[in-house]
């Protein structure tokens, strides 16, 4: 299967309701949780800003921050589980439910690999702008490692070696594939951002009226911040619409990325 064929097939998978609905629901629940806890946090934030808060308001703020972090970690974990099910279903075509059961069996290996990549990102951040190149190289050389764990049942080390060997033998093709999928993912996310900005345009206009020099945050007074928070709370219907849009397009992007890598990995496996 050539690169263009892989991309076209993966785009088809991205807009297939059978593929994107689980991720869409997951992301929508995440954004809904964020809006709920943020709403509670914003209601006590003016008191915190003006340093006129009670012990109860401080407790509420700390609870909301802890809840947001907890929800984020839970969603990241479930997203990885769903990704394993997606790749398994793409390969075996036994349904998403069967993929979820299989994904449980290899979940610890996927977690360990993801944590390893997270450490790579943290370390690469120490190199400033050069860290971006390091992250690109890591994503390129090991882009098939997660897929190898799911499809081949590899351990973490073996999956990294397998991915490296595929890249080493197909340098130009795999780099071209990576750049093309990056570009398509960028287009998907850019269109998502465009629609989100449109849905929040009235909010941005009102913010500009409250803070004429909005780009200079040091000029924003505490009273202006209180007004901004009140405006955001009144704009929650627009934020809900933006959340639906973001959930949908993030689902498209995630499925496209892993579908393309799965199908391209399988094309090498057949050789």
List the chain domain ranges: 3-200+235-269
Ranked by mean pLDDT, which of 18-32, 39-53, 112-126, 218-232 comes out on top? 18-32
pLDDT digits (tens, 9 = 90+) for 118-150: 888 888 877 777 878 888 888 899 999 999 999
pLDDT, one tens digit per residue, over 68-91 is 999 999 999 999 999 999 999 999
Structure tokens at 260: 């393309």
pTM of the complete model: 0.85
**What pLDDT score does 50 carry?**
65
Across 2-6, 181-185, 232-236, the highest mean pLDDT is recorded for 181-185
C-alpha closest to that of 86 among 241, 249, 216, 263? 263
User: Half-sphere exposure (CA, 13 Å, Cβ side) for 242?
Assistant: 17
User: What is the per-residue pLDDT for 185?
Assistant: 94
As given in the structure block, the two tokens for residue 17 are: 């309701």
> Which residues are CB-neighbours of 150 under 8 A, at least 6 positions away?
84, 87, 88, 91, 102, 103, 106, 110
Given a cut of 80, whether residue 213 has pLDDT beyond it is no
Q: Which token pair is 138?
A: 């890591």
Q: Per-residue pLDDT for 214 more than 50?
A: no
| 269 or 217, higher pLDDT | 269
pLDDT of residue 211: 63
- Determine which of 38-47, 102-111, 153-162, 255-264 has the lowest per-residue pLDDT on average: 38-47
Q: What's the pLDDT score for residue 210?
A: 66
In whole angstroms, give the CA distance from residue 178 to residue 200: 32
Over the stretch 85-104, which tens digit does the pLDDT of each residue have?
A: 999 999 988 888 999 999 99
Select the more confidently predicted residue: 177 or 51: 177
Q: Which helix (H) or strand (E) holds 200?
A: none
Count CB atoms within 10 A of the CB of residue 75.
Answer: 17
Structure confidence by residue, pLDDT tens digits, 25-36: 999 999 999 988
């Amino acid at each position: 299967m050539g690169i263009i064929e892989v991309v076209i097939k993966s785009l088809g998978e991205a807009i297939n309701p059978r593929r994107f609905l689980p991720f869409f629901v997951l992301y929508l629940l995440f954004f809904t949780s964020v809006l709920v806890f943020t709403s509670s946090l914003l209601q006590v934030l003016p008191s915190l800003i003006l340093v006129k808060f009670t012990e109860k308001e401080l407790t509420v703020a700390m609870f909301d921050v802890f809840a947001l972090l907890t929800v984020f970690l839970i969603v990241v974990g479930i997203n990885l589980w769903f990704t394993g099910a997606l790749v398994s279903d793409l390969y075996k075509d036994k349904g998403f439910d069967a993929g979820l059961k299989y994904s449980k069996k290899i979940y610890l290996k996927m977690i360990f690999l993801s944590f390893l990549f997270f450490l790579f990102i943290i370390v690469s951040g120490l190199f400033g702008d050069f860290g971006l190149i390091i992250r690109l190289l890591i994503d390129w050389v090991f882009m098939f490692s997660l897929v190898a764990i799911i499809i081949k049942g590899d351990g973490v080390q073996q999956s990294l070696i397998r991915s490296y060997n595929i890249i080493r033998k197909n340098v130009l093709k795999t780099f071209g594939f990576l750049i093309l999928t990056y570009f398509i993912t960028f287009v998907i996310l850019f269109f998502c951002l465009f629609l989100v900005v449109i849905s929040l345009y009235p909010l941005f206009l009102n913010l500009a009226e409250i803070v004429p020099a909005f780009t200079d945050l040091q000029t924003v007074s505490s009273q202006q911040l209180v007004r901004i928070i009140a405006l955001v709370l009144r704009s929650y219907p627009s934020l809900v619409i933006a959340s639906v849009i973001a959930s949908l397009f993030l689902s498209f992007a995630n499925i496209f990325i892993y579908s393309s890598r799965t199908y391209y990995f399988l094309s090498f496996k057949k050789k």
